[in-house]
């Protein structure tokens, strides 16, 4: 009984590891394709060719790319993310604080957006065809169509400029009280909730409606089950797979794709760190950030896959 599930789960994990390896390969070589020579940039235009050659040797830049890739991978496996080119600090130290900030923002957003999205999606499915359902559908489509910088800028204009309720910029390091935290997080969280909820609402609604149309739901109705029992006992467990996948996809966006929101609110997260690193051509930092995004994404997707497998009694 254990075997098929175990082997399925293991194969998912194996696929995740293989994917990660391919991604790391892609990340490494994509970043080495960036124009410009790091040693020249670091030493400036006036540097002597000898100095540049010396720095290149010291940074192993003269070695074949494949060898540098292996060196980098081995370093990663040992937890050594390398040293930042730009300010000689270990990449791990640079990232640590920023990553926690990003996780905080993602966590707070998930805390609000997932329950809101699931509630709206499920209730819209239950009241399919009603005015409420139509309003929810129109609004989610509207929100999907509006780009996030538009939402973010509008939020700043309304709440910071006109109403002056909230600060326009977020300085996560200056939080001392709960009210300060609320003020700092309010706008980025509202913006991100708008962006990630829409997709979750639509997917949840579709998945629940699909299961509500099945004969076993009609059977439950004919047993005299109440509407909430029908939805929560019969429809939802069977819609879990697609819903979890939609949630994972939306949340993975929070871990890596919030560059625009972090930049607009000047929030010190990891996405902003990466944008800065690109500007200074800080290869180890860019690579590490990219890897973190990929790991986060893979982790969420694999987790969703495994939950879907475990929730299916045919595989159990």
Partner 1 sequence: MINLVEICDLKVEATTDSGRRVEIIKGVSLSIAEGEIVALIGESGSGKTTIALTLMGHARPGCRISGGSVSVAGKDLVALTEKQRAKVRGTEVAYVPQSAAAAFNPATTIMDQVIEVTRIHGLMSPDEARTRAVELFRALSLPEPETIGSRYPHQVSGGQLQRLAAAMALIGDPKLVIFDEPTTALDVTTQIEVLRAFKAVMKKGGIAGVYVSHDLAVVAQIADRIVVLKGGETQETGTTEEILNAAKHPYTRELLAAFEPKPRGTVSPEAARGSLLKIEDLVAGYGRRQADGLPLVRAVEHVSLKVEKGRNLGIIGESGCGKSTLARAIAGILPAAVGKIVFDGKELGRSARDRSRDQLREMQIVFQYADTALNPAKSIEDILDRPLVFYHGMDRKARSVRIDELLDMVRLPRNLRHRRPAELSGGQKQRVNFARALAAEPKLILCDEITSALDTVVAAAVIDLLKELQRELGLSYIFISHDLSVVEAICDEIVVMYGGRKVEEIMPAKLKAPQHPYSQLLFSSVPKLDPAWLDGLAQDPELVRAYCRR
| Site residues (vs partner 1, CB under 8 A) | 214-216, 218-226, 229, 233-234, 237-238, 311-314, 316
Q: How far is the CB of 217 from partner 1 (least distance, A)?
A: 8
Dist. CA 239–CA 211, nearest whole Å: 6
Q: How far is CA 63 from CA 60, 90, 228, in A?
A: 6, 22, 65
Q: How far is the CB of 312 from partner 1 (least distance, A)?
A: 8
Nearer to partner 1, 92 or 225 (CB): 225
Q: How far is the CB of 237 from partner 1 (least distance, A)?
A: 4
Q: Which of 201, 64, 75, 87 is nearest to 133 (CA)?
A: 201
Nearer to partner 1, 149 or 232 (CB): 232
Whether the CB-CB separation of 283 and 175 falls below 8 Å is answered with no
Q: How far is the CB of 233 from partner 1 (least distance, A)?
A: 8
Nearer to partner 1, 134 or 316 (CB): 316
Enumerate the H helices of 83-147 as residue ranges.
91-126, 131-145
Nearer to partner 1, 164 or 314 (CB): 314
Q: How far is the CB of 88 from partner 1 (least distance, A)?
A: 56
Dist. CA 48–CA 191, nearest whole Å: 50
Nearer to partner 1, 295 or 309 (CB): 309
Whether the CB-CB separation of 95 and 288 falls below 8 Å is answered with yes
All residues at 6 or more sequence positions from 123 whose CB lies less than 8 Å from its CB, including other chains: 132, 136
């Amino acid at each position: 009984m254990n075997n098929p599930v175990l082997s399925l789960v293991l194969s998912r994990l194996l696929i995740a590891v293989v994917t990660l390896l391919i991604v790391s390969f892609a990340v490494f070589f994509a970043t080495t394709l960036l124009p410009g020579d790091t040693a020249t940039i670091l030493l400036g235009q006036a540097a002597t060719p000898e100095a540049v050659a010396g720095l290149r040797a010291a940074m192993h830049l003269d070695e074949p790319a494949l060898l540098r890739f292996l060196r980098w991978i081995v370093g990663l496996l040992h937890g050594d993310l390398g040293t930042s080119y730009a300010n000689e600090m270990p990449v791990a130290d640079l990232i640590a604080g920023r990553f926690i900030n990003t996780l905080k923002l993602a966590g707070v957003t998930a805390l609000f957006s997932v329950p809101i999205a699931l509630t709206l999606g499920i209730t819209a499915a239950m009241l399919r065809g009603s005015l409420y359902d139509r309003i929810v559908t129109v609004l989610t489509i509207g929100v999907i169509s509006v780009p996030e910088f538009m939402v973010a800028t509008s939020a700043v204009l309304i709440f910071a400029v006109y109403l002056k309720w909230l600060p326009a910029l977020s300085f996560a390091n200056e939080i001392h009280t709960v009210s300060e935290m609320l003020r700092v997080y309010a706008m980025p969280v509202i913006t991100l909730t708008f962006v990630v909820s829409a997709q979750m609402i639509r997917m949840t609604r579709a998945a629940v409606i699909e299961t509500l149309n099945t004969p076993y739901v009609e059977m439950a109705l004919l047993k005299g089950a109440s509407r909430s029992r029908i939805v929560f006992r019969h429809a939802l467990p069977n819609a879990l797979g697609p819903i979890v996948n939609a949630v994972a996809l939306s949340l993975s966006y929070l871990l890596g794709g919030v560059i625009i929101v972090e930049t607009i609110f000047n929030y010190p997260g990891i996405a902003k760190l990466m944008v800065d690193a690109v500007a200074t051509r800080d290869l180890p930092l860019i690579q590490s950030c990219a890897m973190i995004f990929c790991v986060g994404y893979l982790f969420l997707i694999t987790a969703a896959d495994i939950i879907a497998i475990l929730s299916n009694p045919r595989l159990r």
